[in-house]
Amino acid sequence: MASTACFIIVSKNDIPIYEAEVGSAAKKEDAAHQHQFILHAALDIVQDLAWTTSAMFLKAVDRFNDLVVSVYVTAGHTRLMLLHDSHNEDGIKSFFQEVHELYVKILLNPLYLPGSRITSSHFDTKVRALARKYL
């Protein structure tokens, strides 16, 4: 498991709809802010990059200091973004794919308004489990 990792789902409207610090390192609030700042900045690059490839997994698109941003863009232009410090590309790809599946399940919920915050604790648990498994 990566020592630092921050996972975030950004909706089509650039609103973060799910956030999770999934790293094993001790959580610091400042660091969490910094992670979000990096991920937020990376959206600029993703927005251009997403249209240059047909693959959903964009690999590492951005970096700052030692932290790398990997992005997975769904067909609905929801972006799964992971900030991490290890380079386990296969694991990240599997992680993204599984989270995508979970996200699709969330979308299928008729009570879920696409683009709004994901509040399901079940989803959260699953994502954290996947993070432990793959990262």
Partner 1 sequence: MEPDVSIETGCMIRIAVLPIGPIPQPHLRDYASMLVRHRRVDLSNISSFYTEHQKSPFANQPWDSGSLRFKFMLGGSPLSPWEDFQSHRKILGVIGICHCASSPDLELVEEEFASACKSYTSALVKRCFAFCPGDSQLEDGGRKGDNLILFPPADHQTQQFHLQTMMQDIAASLLMEFEKWVLRAESSGTILKTPLDSQTSLSSEEVIKAKKRRLGRAQKTIGDYCLLAGSPVDANAHYSTASELARLTGDFFWYAGALEGSVCALLIDQMGQKDPVLEDEVRYRYNSVILHYRKSFMQDNAQRVSTLSFELEATLKLARFLCRREHAKEVVELLMTAADGAKSLIDASDRLILFVEIARLFGTLGYHRKAAFFSRQVAQLYMQQDDCLAAISAMQVLAMTTKAYRVQSRATLIKSLASSDEISDGGKLNPQSVVSLFESQWSTLQMVVLREILLSSVRAGDPLAAWSAAARLLRSYYPLITPAGQSGLASALTNAADRLPSGTRSADPALPFIRLHSFPVHSSQVDIVKRNPGREEWWLGSAPSGPFIYTPLSKGDPADSNKQELIWIVGEPVQVVVELVNPCGFDLTVDSIYLSVHSGNFDPFPMRVSLPPNSAKVIKLSGMPTALGPVTIPGCTVHCFGVITEHLFKEVDNLLLGAAQGLVLSDPFRCCGSPTLRNVTVPNISIVPPLPLLVSHVVGGDGAVILYEGEIRDVLISLTNAGSVPVEQAHISLSGKNQDSVISVAYETLKSALPLKPGAEFTIPVTIKAWQLGTADLDSAGGKNNASMGRLSKDGSSPMLLIHYAGPLVQSGATDVNSSTVPPGRRLVVPLHVCVLQGLSFVKARLLSMEIPAHVSETLPCLDNKYSDLISGGKPDSLVKIDPYRGSWGLRLLELELSNPTDVVFDIRVSVQLENKMKEDKSTFVVDASDFGYPETRIDRDYSARVLIPLEHFKLPILDGSFFVKDSKSDANQGSSRSSSFSEKNSKAELNASIKNLISRIKVKWQSGRSSSGELNIKDAILSALQTSAMDILLPDPLTFGFKFAKSSIPPANIVDLPKEANILAVPPGSKGSILAHEMTPFEVFVRNNTKEMIKMKLSITCRDVAGENCIDGSKATVLWAGVLSGISIEVPPLQEIMHAFSLYFLVPGEYTLVAAAVIDDANDILRARAKTDSPDEPIFCRGPPFHVKVIGTA
| Contact set with partner 1 (CB under 8 A) | 13-16, 19, 32-33, 36-38, 40-41, 43-45, 48-49, 52, 62-65, 113, 115-117
Q: Tokens 């992680």 map to which residue?
A: 95
**Cα–Cα dist 33/35, whole Å:** 5
Query: Dihedral (C-alpha) 110, 116, 122, 125: value to the nearest 10 degrees?
Result: 150
The distance of closest approach from Cβ of residue 108 to partner 1 in the complex, given in angstroms and rounded to an integer, is 18
Burial state string for 23-48 with b = 16 or more CB within 10 A and e = fewer than 16: beeeeeeebeebbbebbeebbeebee
CB of 87 to partner 1, least distance (A): 15
In the complex with partner 1, which residue's Cβ is closer, 53 or 132?
53
User: 90 or 110, CB closer to partner 1?
Assistant: 110
Cβ nearer to partner 1, comparing 27 with 132: 27
We find the least distance from the C-beta atom of residue 98 to partner 1, in angstroms, to be 25
Q: Could you tell me the smallest distance in angstroms from the CB atom of residue 111 to partner 1?
A: 11
Let me know how many helices (H) and strands (E) the chain has, helices first: 3, 5
